[in-house]
A and B are shown apart, each in its own frame.
Chain A
């Protein structure tokens, strides 16, 4: 008789910044089903927005997420500018792009660090977070805050970037480019990491389309989508860069996409610094007409989608927010099922889940419903597997 076991991971997952709950149904070592429970972080922001002035909403939506905090206000201002057909000053477009790409750099490094820890590579974790720190320092220098930069406003940006700050930003990018080379070498050429991540947590192209996943999760599965290229906003159509697409759909491909995107983000910011014109940064918008608008941006995790409806008053009548993890986390239903328990932690983490955006893991014996493991155990299992592979490969 087979023993079906349920492994609970969460709600307080020690390595994620937020509560999450996955119930993994396992038979022996194999994951046969997964139940994703979200809602622990639901704060009713869509409803709250309906009670705020249009200008206040950008501050409120910035607080949806602490990691990709500028993506939500960026999508929101895009939606409002679509609604009211506002043209914004060119300098503001470049500043928005610089801020959004700096955010992608620190977000991808954060993920790389966590992924490293999940498979027992704590050196990668320490390195990644060490190189993330100067980016946050640059944010503090430019915007006054390490997080929640409050740069986006309807019609432009709230702060200009001073010339002196640009040279400090350039210096940080030069150092980061060297660090990216190091990460590329350390991760891509390491035979243990390759053995550990190749063929793990595969999401096929067909599945990626069926589940409508977005961002690096989709691009790692061969789906060539990137809002920055497909429906350009900000200054993305004024600079040259490439969309990174991989075919395999496994955790290794997702890692590769994110590391290569570090280079593209550095390229984009460097060009923006060179091309940025002088001039106004705000179109000074006073009134918002009745109507509806849709704005979407490529957040570090994928497309962030905002829909706003206005009735001509100073508050939104309806504000719909769809974060990228909302689509990506749901796809774990196919990516994690069929794999082993020791691969579950890294597979679930590979979509770079953001729970406050979406909204949590347990392993349970299926016939008895007995909980036998928690998140810590899963990470230990994952790290032990890496260790076995390392020994097997003779390192």
Chain B
């Protein structure tokens, strides 16, 4: 059984949309509240590697794509979550599951203002420490 089938079977109704763009590029839309559990499954149980995450400012809210790579087959599974509350966006931190997520969450926090709840060290990574509050360089508004 391929990894796609395994993920589909394990997640079932937790998947709100499954989109395969090309043979090795799969985008899985999920609800923000399921993120931590699904990430645990992908990283710890199915042994995917955490490549990085992309945060986008969209008209509907802040969208985050968590890119997981399965190096045995070269497939990249991107978990897509939408945080609708743009005034006070927050999501659970994955840095407690695996340290690889620490830096990218700090970056998304300073660039788009997403609060990663539970992050052990949420401070500036790329911007200077006295960067003005509530100014987020990658916000479109």
Contacts and interface: CB of A to CB of B under 8 A. Distances in A.
B125 to A, nearest CB: 6
Q: In this complex, which of A42, A46, A212 has the most chain B Cβ atoms within 10 angstroms of its Cβ?
A: A212
Given A38-B125, A303-B51, A307-B65, A330 B103 contact: yes
A337 to B, nearest CB: 13
Contacts of A225: 49, 71
Given A47-B137, A210-B99, A320 B52 contact: yes
B contact residues, range: 35 or more
A327 B78 CA distance: 18
Interface in B86-141: 98-100, 102-104, 124-128, 137-138
A224 B72 CA distance: 9
A333 interface: yes
A261 interface: no
A212 B50 contact: yes
| Chain B interface, >50% SS class | mixed
Nearest to B98: A210
B52 A322 contact: yes
B21 A293 contact: yes
Nearest to B25: A294
B101 to A, nearest CB: 8
Nearest to A224: B71
A293 B125 CA distance: 26
A82 to B, nearest CB: 6
A196 B51 CA distance: 33
B71 A85 contact: no
Given A39-B127, A39-B128, A232 B103 contact: no
A359 B69 CA distance: 23
A318 B56 contact: yes
Contacts of B24: 231
Interface string B10-33: 000000000001101101000000
Interface in A48-106: 82, 85
Q: In this complex, which of B21, B69, B104 has the most chain A Cβ atoms within 10 angstroms of its Cβ?
A: B69
Given A225-B71, A309-B56, A318-B54, A42 B49 contact: no
Given A225-B71, A309-B56, A322-B51, A212 B125 contact: no
Given A82-B22, A293-B21, A322-B52, A359 B126 contact: yes
Interface string A280-313: 0000000000011110100000010101010000
Contacts of A39: 124-128
Nearest to A309: B56
B2 interface: no
Contacts of B21: 82, 291-293
B42 to A, nearest CB: 12
B76 interface: yes
Given A39-B124, A82-B25, A305-B67, A296 B51 contact: yes
A77 to B, nearest CB: 15
A189 interface: no
B54 A320 contact: yes
Interface string A325-364: 0110010010000000000000000000000000100000
Q: In this complex, which of B24, B71, B76 has the most chain A Cβ atoms within 10 angstroms of its Cβ?
A: B71
A394 interface: no
A44 interface: yes
Nearest to B53: A320
A211 interface: yes
A210 B100 contact: yes
Interface string B62-80: 0001010101111110100
27 contacts: A39-B126, A39-B127, A42-B126, A42-B127, A46-B138, A47-B137, A47-B138, A82-B22, A82-B25, A209-B49, A210-B98, A210-B100, A212-B50, A230-B73, A231-B74, A291-B21, A294-B25, A296-B51, A296-B76, A303-B51, A320-B52, A322-B104, A326-B104, A327-B52, A327-B100, A333-B99, A359-B125
Given A82-B25, A303-B51, 15 more contacts: A38-B126, A39-B126, A39-B127, A47-B138, A82-B22, A210-B99, A212-B51, A225-B49, A231-B71, A291-B21, A293-B25, A318-B56, A326-B103, A326-B104, A330-B102
